[in-house]
């Protein structure tokens, strides 16, 4: 495995010394936002993680190498390149073997984080069960990864372009704990509430870290979803985002968008319909997740 893994020296030293490290994905850089906003956001997220006392480790595939911790130059490269593939679990063997570049999704970031020994991962939102999945079988690989990979994922829930109820049912079937961070309501990415409750609410980083330790000490395989709602000031009004999503879903059907193209199409369309406010909310919730994730990583390292 070591022949494929390239861990940044700062990250490697932190892991060897049991210092807190937070994994970050790279899809948000290459496929989530335009340049230079994508790189500026990535750098800000890393700064927020550092401000909590943890070391950021942005994860990506460059020239077939699994990179854990990107340099400033590599962040710039990812932000401006057009030949970067979106890499989920199924894509990783091909991208690595062919020496290509890949932006890691939630699933692949979890895989590589676990390889490196990182236990906390911060993202925007996880994938889930798509609407109409009873016919399309369109279910994100993120959910299966959460069932088997020992990484805690700090997120703002799942986007309401998905079937949130079925997503939570799937996670329950796979034995994945879904914890509300200072909330009893499962967040819906752009909004603080989805209409679904979490089973357990945790109110601070230490109690969350203790839950992580207990799970893995008992050899209960798989990840944990730490659902952290977007700050109230940056949350979108439910009727506004609901209307934008319905319009975007109709456009998706009309244009026969399928498979892995659905989510980026919908997010781009929603951004246009909301005149950019959905992107502002997206950035705000990622920053908030970075703050909470950094605090949880610090608490976890203290226990371990």
The residue annotated as part of the active site, out of 25, 46, 114, 145, is 25
Residue 43 CA to residue 71 CA, distance in Å, equals 10
The residue annotated as part of the active site, out of 119, 159, 271, 291, is 159
Structure tokens at 191: 């909004």
Decide if 86 is catalytic: no
Residue 227 CA to residue 188 CA, distance in Å, equals 9
- The alpha-helical segments, DSSP class H, found in the chain are 9-16, 27-30, 37-51, 72-80, 92-97, 106-116, 133-136, 141-148, 164-173, 205-217, 238-254, 262-273, 277-303
What b/e string do you get for 189-222 counting C-beta neighbours within 10 Å, with b at 16 or more?
Answer: bbbbbbebebeeebeebbebbebbeebbeeeeeb
Residue 143 CA to residue 1 CA, distance in Å, equals 24
Decide if 159 is catalytic: yes
Would you please indicate which residues are annotated as catalytic (active-site) residues? 25, 159
């Amino acid at each position: 495995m070591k022949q494929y893994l390239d861990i940044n020296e700062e990250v490697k030293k932190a892991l060897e010394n049991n210092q807190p490290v937070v994994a970050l994905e790279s899809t948000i850089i290459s496929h989530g936002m335009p340049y230079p906003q994508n790189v500026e956001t990535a750098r800000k997220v890393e700064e927020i993680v550092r401000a909590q006392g943890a070391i950021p480790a942005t994860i990506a595939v460059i020239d077939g190498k699994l990179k854990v911790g990107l340099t400033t130059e590599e962040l710039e490269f990812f932000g401006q390149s057009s030949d970067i593939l979106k890499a989920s679990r199924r894509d990783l063997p091909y991208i690595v073997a062919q020496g290509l570049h890949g932006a890691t999704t939630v699933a692949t970031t979890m895989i590589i984080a676990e390889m490196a020994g990182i236990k906390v991962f911060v993202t925007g939102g996880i994938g889930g069960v798509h609407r109409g999945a009873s016919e399309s079988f369109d279910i994100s690989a993120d959910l299966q990864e959460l069932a088997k990979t020992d990484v805690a994922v700090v997120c703002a829930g799942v986007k309401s372009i998905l079937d949130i109820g079925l997503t939570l049912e799937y996670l329950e079937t796979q034995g994945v704990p879904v914890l509300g961070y200072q909330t009893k309501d499962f967040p819906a990415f752009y909004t603080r509430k989805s209409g679904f409750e979490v089973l357990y609410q945790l109110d601070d980083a230490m109690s969350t870290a203790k839950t992580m330790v207990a799970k893995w000490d008992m050899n209960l395989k798989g990840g944990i979803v730490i659902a952290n709602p977007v700050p109230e000031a940056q949350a979108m009004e439910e009727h506004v985002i609901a209307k934008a999503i319905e319009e975007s879903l109709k456009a998706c059907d009309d244009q026969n968008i399928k498979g892995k193209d659905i989510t980026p199409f919908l997010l781009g369309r929603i951004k246009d319909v909301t005149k950019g406010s959905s992107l502002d909310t997206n950035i705000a919730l990622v920053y908030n997740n970075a703050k909470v994730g950094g605090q949880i990583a610090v608490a976890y390292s203290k226990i371990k």
